[in-house]
Structure formats: structure tokens, C-alpha cells
Chains A and B, each alone.
Chain A
């Protein structure tokens, strides 16, 4: 924990140094910034960002926001949920640490997503105080997520590594397309959960970093400039593009994650609240894990 506190303080110090130093955008570097816009040898990131932001980003977000739930709505109507008796044997799979870390991440996401959407559709909400507040909350709730993302990555890393079984899982999409309860040979996490793990962790870190760039604006990153050859403003354009594109994936998979735990597998959400997983659910959806637990006499 101490490590994270030190990291956090270091980040704050760096930020204040950036303020005190000469501006990267309006100071010495402004000529490079101006030249970088659409010059021959540049990456033309200015026009690219303008085009994407002007024509595509909001529509893609709208598509994800409406499309993904629509697909799941149809899934729920046609295939229906998987219901497991929750009165049976249970195994204590998630300890207090797991649950706390997960809950902090969950709460941050529940603020980050809606506020993000309010910013994307800022003109719909009329701008001003409401949208400004959403923007500030969006930044503020990045902090709890940033604090838990590394412990969360580490605590589930082993379970989230892909294996051969996952290929089979993808072929039948985890059996979620059929009403029957097929036995799926997954370990503690199935391929879908693993996919979400990687998007949440790597995508989450990308979101934090690109968001921090955009928030601090005038940060000093000699190393990044040297490696990429990009000017400050171009780094900001990259950050804005990444933040949006990564946002599509995070939003789509977050909705999936919520749907799976709350609706598709009835009551699965309780496992991360109480820590207990239910025997039949594990046996059918995570058979490899089930066998292991059984061998250890945990059921």
C-alpha cells in the first residue's frame, strides 16, 4: 500500500513541477506545436482528431450505448437467463480484499461511465454547470480506480491468463447461446471474464494515463517527445483519440459484465458481494475449477 501512496504523491509533485515550468504548449514549444498540425512530414493528427471527434466519436458511443444493451435484451428474451439454485453448497471464493478492491473499481466505473457519456453528449445536455460537474466527477473518480487497478490486476492475474480451453469457449460463446446448461470446462474465470479483465486493466490504465495527459495538459514528458518525435499538442491529440477509442471497448465490455452478472446468470452478482460461489453454477460454467475445488475437498 505504501508503494501506491508514494506513487500518488510523486504524481502530484510531477504535476506541480509541470505548472511551475515553462509552458509546453504556449511557451518555448509553441512553434513545434503549430508546425505539427498538418505539415507534410507530420502525422497530421490535428485534422485526424478533428475529423474523428466531429463526425464519428459521438455516433459510435451512441451505437455502443444502444446497440450492446439491445443485443442483450434480445438474448434475454430469446435465450433467457441461466438460473441456478442458490440454496446449495457454497464455496468462499472471494475474500474481503478481493471484494473491497472490486467494489471500489465498480463504484468508480458507475460514476465514470455516465459522466463520460454526459461529456460526449454535452451539447444534448446544454453544456454549462451540469456538464462541467460531470467532467469534474469524471476526473475525481479516476482516483479510486487508479488506486485499485494495480492490486486488482495482480490478484487475478493468474486466473486471467488465456489457455486452450478458451478457444473452445469462444467457439460456442460460452454456451450462452443455448437454453441448455452445457458443461463448460472453464477455470475460475471463463474466456469472457478474462477478456473483460484485460480490457478493464489494460484499457483502464490507458484511460487513466491518457485522461491524466488531458487533465494536466502542460505536463513535461521529454522522454515521450524524444521517442515519438511528437510535439506536446500532438501527444494530447493522441491521448484524446486513444481515450475515446478505448472508451468504446471499455463501455461495451462493462455493459456485458453487468448483464452477465445480474441478468444472464441470475444472482451471480452475489458472489462478489458475499464472496460465496454456488456449487451447481461452478460445476456447469467453470467445470475445470469445480474439479479442482472438489479434489481439494472444498465442496
Chain B
């Protein structure tokens, strides 16, 4: 079985934030939530500066899934890690467990109580009926169901952001590395 993975080729990422903005727009995310973020390390240091784009990495053995007290995560056959917003109690445990700071929380409750967790779905929606009004409202577009690649990868102008079955992602990347002779 194939496993869906993201990979950001930091040799190509030009820190344009298109992925982040496109994601927020496509899924109509509330302000303050950005499922995909671009980070830059060694900012301004010549030769060392590197940028990459991070969202939920859809981990194998996902730690978020292991700690959730209401068990609201489910991992699809293809490895996409999704969760049920109607079950989620906004406790934040998934955030503590996640190595990438992917889970986020809108502050929509009284006294600033955390709302249901929100994270990247790899554009695969949620547990509700595919492409239903409600699924779209809670989880954003379900592009995977339509056979399209996630929004972030679709708009990446340098093709730095790769997505798909782990095997093919690594094949593409290996070819690139071989082609430029460095940068593995």
C-alpha cells in the first residue's frame, strides 16, 4: 500500500509563502490559523540560509493519535492522518505530542477557551460525507477525493513541495539530487 507523504526540497524553496497563503485561502481558514508555514533557518547567513515549508507531516505512528484522550484521530489506508472535529475537546495534547507544532486552536470559546483542533488534512477533508457542505465547512476542500494534489503543492512555483506516494516522492527527489550532483 502506498503511503502519502509531503516533502519540501529546501534547495528549491524560495520562501515565497505561496503554499501557506493558497492553503489558507482554499480552505477559508479563520485568521490566526495557518495549516502550512514556511520557516527559514540561519536567516541572512550566506551559504547557510535555508527555507522549508512545514505542515502536518502525516507521521507513521503519529504521536498525536497516540495521546488524544477522546481518540478522535484516524489514519487512512493511504497514511493521511485525519481527525474528527466534532469529537475533539480542544485539550491540546496532540500539540504537545506533535514534533512539528502542526495542531492549532482557534480561540472561539467563552473566556478564550480553545476550539476544536485544526491542522493540515493533506486536502483530504474529514470523517464526514465526502464533499458535503459540512465537511467543507469544518475541514476545507477535499481535493484528494477529486483526484487533485493538495493546494500547497499545486501552487508551488518551483516544485519544491512534493506530495504523493512516498515511493514516487523519493524517486523524484533522488533524480533531482543525482541531476544536480549535490544536496541530498
Contacts and interface: CB of A to CB of B under 8 A. Distances in A.
A26 B26 CA distance: 20
Interface in A267-290: none
Contacts, number: 103
A46 B62 CA distance: 12
Given A49-B97, A135-B89, A135-B90, A122 B41 contact: no
Contact of A136 (B66, B84, B87, B113): B113
B58 to A, nearest CB: 16
Nearest to B62: A50
Interface in A86-137: 119-123, 125-128, 131-132, 134-136
B101 A25 contact: yes
Interface string A221-260: 0000000000001001100100000000000000000000
Nearest to A128: B87
A123 B69 contact: yes
B27 to A, nearest CB: 16
Band of interface residues on A: 35 or more
Given A26-B34, A49-B67, A233 B96 contact: yes
Interface stretch (A33-41, A73-81, A159-167, A194-202): A33-41
A225 to B, nearest CB: 16
B113 A236 contact: no
A30 B39 contact: yes
Interface in A24-64: 25-26, 30-31, 33-34, 37-38, 46-47, 49-50, 53-54, 58
Given A19-B107, A54-B66, A122-B70, A236 B96 contact: yes
B87 A30 contact: no
Contacts of B101: 25-26, 30, 33-34, 233
B96 A240 contact: yes
Contact of B70 (A33, A127, A214, A233): A127
Contacts of A34: 39, 54, 99-101
A47 B84 CA distance: 23
A49 B56 CA distance: 19
Nearest to A139: B113
Q: Is the interface of B mostly helix, strand, loop or mixed?
A: loop
A139 B96 CA distance: 19
Contacts of A38: 99
Interface in B97-113: 97-101, 104-105, 107, 109-113
A15 interface: yes
B37 A26 contact: yes
A127 B100 CA distance: 25
Contacts of B71: 122-123, 127
A31 to B, nearest CB: 6
Interface of B: 34, 37, 39, 41, 54, 63, 66-72, 84, 86-93, 95-101, 104-105, 107, 109-114
